[in-house]
Amino acid sequence: MSLIWWVLPSISGVLGLILLFAGFGKLAGLKPFAGVARLAFGSGFLGLAGVIAFAGLNIQTYKRLTYERPVATVKFTAVGDQENAYRADVVFSDGQTFLQADGTAPVFRGNEWQIGAKVIKFKPMANILGYDSIYRLEHMRSLDAHQFSSDAVTEGKIDGIKIVPTEPGIDVSDLAAKYGSRFGIDAEYGSATYQPMGDGYEFEISITQDALIARPTPETKDKIQQESYPGFKPIGGGKNR
């Protein structure tokens, strides 16, 4: 929560208490008019502190419940000698690059890609108090969506790689599932997001309090629209909007 929503009501509350004690002191000293005036002002400042605090809490509700954090960026580059194969350059929010065990960037095949994470979500009140959902990226995969049919379940091929190969240390998600409700945890679940895959496509991945989101950059959005709708001309000639 923004510091100002704690500072303002605190200042107002302290002034109110000072005036209230001063008012009681005047009344004890048989000065009723001065005492009543200080009591009135003190009550007013305490009331103002309450109004500011509740207003700030309400405003922060909108901010905290829609809060997003960057997770990673993904850029695909076509592999020249392979059809529908794309090298994925994945950079996490901490600056680390995702590589395979041999030190090379993973290559995916198909026309769609997906990234999934394990999410521990806190209850809204905990969000307001500053407890954001926590996540751990689990896997990245790709497929050719054209291989499936709407008539029946179709066996298909999926390329994939684990981002976290092992469960390091204590299984926090298991503890969250068992005891999380006592500490403001709402749910523990998997969240995934997918987008088209193509040469030069670049996406920015973020997480809300609930789920992962993959957004194409403006240039990628134009490419996707041009390929989906032949003859499409982006407004502004494809420049950043």
Grouping H, G, I as helix, E, B as strand and the rest as coil, residue 61 is: helix
Provide φ and ψ at 102, rounded to 5°: -85, 5
Confidence of residue 1 (pLDDT cuts 50, 70, 90): very low
What value, to the nearest 5°, has the Cα angle with vertex 208 and ends 204 and 209?
A: 160
What the block records as the tokens of 138 is 């689990």
Q: What local confidence, expressed as pLDDT, does residue 241 receive?
A: 45
Instruction: Return all residues near 60 (Cβ < 8 A) that are at least 6 apart.
Output: 1, 2, 5, 128
Beta carbons within 8 Å of 169's beta carbon, 6+ residues apart: none
Distance CA 158, CA 144 (A): 8
Choose between 177 and 207: higher pLDDT.
207
**Per-residue pLDDT, 46:** 67
- Report the candidate in 140, 121, 116 with the shortest Cα–Cα distance to residue 191: 116
Q: How much is the pTM?
A: 0.67
pLDDT, one tens digit per residue, over 79-104 is 988 889 999 999 999 999 999 999 99
Give the separation between CA 12 and CA 4, rounded to whole angstroms. 12
| Predicted pLDDT at 186 | 81
Low-confidence winner among 43-47, 71-75, 123-127 (lowest mean pLDDT): 43-47
* Burial class of residue 41, CB neighbours in 10 A (0-12, 13-18, 19+): middle
| Residue range 130-165, pLDDT digits in tens | 778 888 899 999 999 888 888 888 888 888 999 976
